[in-house]
Amino acid sequence: MLSRREHSQKELFQKLTSKGFETDDISILLEEFIQLNWQSDQRFAESYGRSRLYKGFGPIRIQHELKEKGVETNINDVFEEAPDWQALLCELHVKKYGPQAPNTMKERAKRTRFFQHKGFTHDMIRQLFNQLS
């Protein structure tokens, strides 16, 4: 499993449990993987975070997904160099809607919901719309 991509401890535990392995054996195996540096939640978080970042997801969504995968970490610790979330949000807006600002409140609300779903904060979105106006 680890030869294809990084996995979190929780993911590996779930996959091995579903294949019928004993939980005690899985725990011992995972400890050995960690000692041999074959598995690292930090490395998984960095890889997963980069992947989601390139797909246009924001900090809130990435942090939530990592937590679901069993990795409790601060989003700022995931990236070596903190991304410019505002620039990424602006790029996403141009890609999806073009450079023009929303002209109605209904359109603004629609775009706001889209960006919140992608994991950007309300303040980031408000700042984006202020830049576009």
Domain ranges of the chain: 9-78, 85-132
CA distance 29 to 34: 9
Going by C-alpha positions, the residue among 80, 62, 66 that lies closest to residue 10 is 66
Q: HSE, CB side, 13 Å, CA atoms: give it for residue 28.
A: 5
The DSSP string of 57-70 is --HHHHHHHHHHTT
pLDDT of 30 higher than 90: yes
Q: pLDDT tens digit string along 49-62?
A: 999 999 999 999 99
Q: How confident is the model at residue 80, as a pLDDT? A: 85
CATH architecture of the domain with residue range 85-132: Orthogonal Bundle (1.10)
On average, the pLDDT of the chain sits at 94
Q: pLDDT tens digit string along 102-129?
A: 999 999 999 999 999 999 999 999 999 9
Q: How confident is the model at residue 101, as a pLDDT? A: 93
- Give this prediction's pTM: 0.89
